[in-house]
Amino acid sequence: MTDNRLAKMPISNWGGLGFKCRCGNLHEINVKEFVIQQGACDHTAHFAKKMGKTMHLVFEQKVFEKTKDKVVKKFGKIFDVTTSIIKEQNLFSIEQCEQIFAQAKEQTKVIVCVGGYNACQYGKYASQKLGVQWIFINVLPDCDDVATNYCTLWKNKVKQILPGKSPDVVLCDTALAYDFCLDDLQTAFAVVLQNGLFAFDRVFANKVQNAKNCDVANYLLATSVKNAINLAKKPFSKNTVSELFACQYLISVAKCLSVANQNNFAGIHAFTNALQSKYPHYTFGQVVCVANDVLSKIYAQVVENNCLLTIDKDRFLHETLALKKFGVQVNPVFNFETNDKAFEQNVEFFKQNLALIAKINNLCKSMIKQSISWQSKVAFDCLQLCTDIYPFNGLLRYANDKGYFDKQND
Ligand SMILES: [Zn+2]
């Protein structure tokens, strides 16, 4: 199949797919089924009974009341179920995962997690540890890494990437998800839209820093962001819910295809993580909106060769400091060769893309109900904090190499 055909496939076709890609990698999607439909959670028993009878059923607290009866409705007497709750938590940690893990029976053969991002991280973490299959019933629209084989959890205020196992089956019940989407539409969109900047960085690294990445993954990222922009312009409907989850799953597939960034948070994701740890009371959507706004302004300054920020030049890619301060192993995967000529040749193209990203920012901002005023100093502190821990790639790495961050602020 050609790259183009692959990239245009609906999400349901990606389940269990394996193929040799033009990027040189053999890609495999470990999620066997992606089901997005009304009443999808009715299929849980059908899939679960093939996996085992001893079940650990885990709910995120905020979905428990609304989903508990529906999830178990068709279970009959097949399963021996232990139920646990993930407490409402913005910085879901390894420690909390361990506490929930301790509640599971030793002979657990199947894990079913209900919720969004946190439920997904738990499922990946626990199924990897136990070596069992698991089902993700996705009703919260805040997760863009479902298909990846790692999980991200907090430890000492640092978000870490750990080994994890992607779900065997993903069931998005649109009837249930509809209400939850309405509650936090902004997060639902932000999860997708933040990848606009991420895609920009990948293209930049590809053109200027000679980084190799997968064209199919890039296409999936760009298409998902474009689809979400179009969706945001239309009135909210049941169709919006299906489309938004499809966008989030396609982004997770793109992440699964792109090996380059698998061991590190980079760019906007790193920045968002740093903001989350500093301002845990804000919703993810609000944090992403701010990160988009601040970072894209920095990007524009760099592209215009007019960088007014000051930052220690050694802040980027300093594995020793990250290890000493936070006990985090940061891998220097970005050994790119910068090509100045390529930068000059593409500068107009980058400017056009940043203009597009400015439009995305406005879209994000228009979805925020309460306005948050972030002073540039606060944003800058956060940038410093995240460069303590996470290496940057793409444009920020370039700016650092060029010494733009060494210039003095007046
Ligand atoms: Zn590829």
The HSE-up count of residue 159 (CA atoms within 13 Å, CB side) is: 27
Q: How far is the CA of 24 from the centre of ligand 1 (A)?
A: 7
Q: Which phi and psi (to 5°) does residue 97 adopt?
A: -60, -45
Q: How confident is the model over 155-176, as a mean pLDDT?
A: 93
The C-alpha atoms of residue 117 and residue 246 are separated, in whole angstroms, by 15
> Each residue of 63-96: pLDDT tens digit?
999 999 999 999 989 999 999 999 987 899 999 9
3-state secondary structure of 373: coil
Asked if 248 and 141 count as a contact pair (C-beta separation under 8 A), the reply is yes
**In order of start, what are the domains of the chain with their CATH numbers?**
3-181 (3.40.50.1970), 184-213+258-406 (no CATH)
Q: How far is the CA of 259 from the centre of ligand 1 (A)?
A: 9
Q: How far is the CA of 26 from the centre of ligand 1 (A)?
A: 7
Q: How confident is the model over 273-281, as a mean pLDDT?
A: 85
The C-alpha atoms of residue 204 and residue 217 are separated, in whole angstroms, by 15
Average pLDDT, the chain: 85
Q: How far is the CA of 266 from the centre of ligand 1 (A)?
A: 19
Q: How far is the CA of 260 from the centre of ligand 1 (A)?
A: 11
> Each residue of 337-370: pLDDT tens digit?
677 788 889 989 999 999 988 888 887 777 665 5
Q: How far is the CA of 269 from the centre of ligand 1 (A)?
A: 21
Which token pair is 382?
A: 């956060």
Q: How far is the CA of 254 from the centre of ligand 1 (A)?
A: 9
Q: Kindly report the pTM of this predicted structure.
A: 0.90
The C-alpha atoms of residue 69 and residue 67 are separated, in whole angstroms, by 6
The C-alpha atoms of residue 170 and residue 191 are separated, in whole angstroms, by 18
Q: How far is the CA of 265 from the centre of ligand 1 (A)?
A: 20
Amino acid residing at 99: Q
Asked if 364 and 193 count as a contact pair (C-beta separation under 8 A), the reply is yes
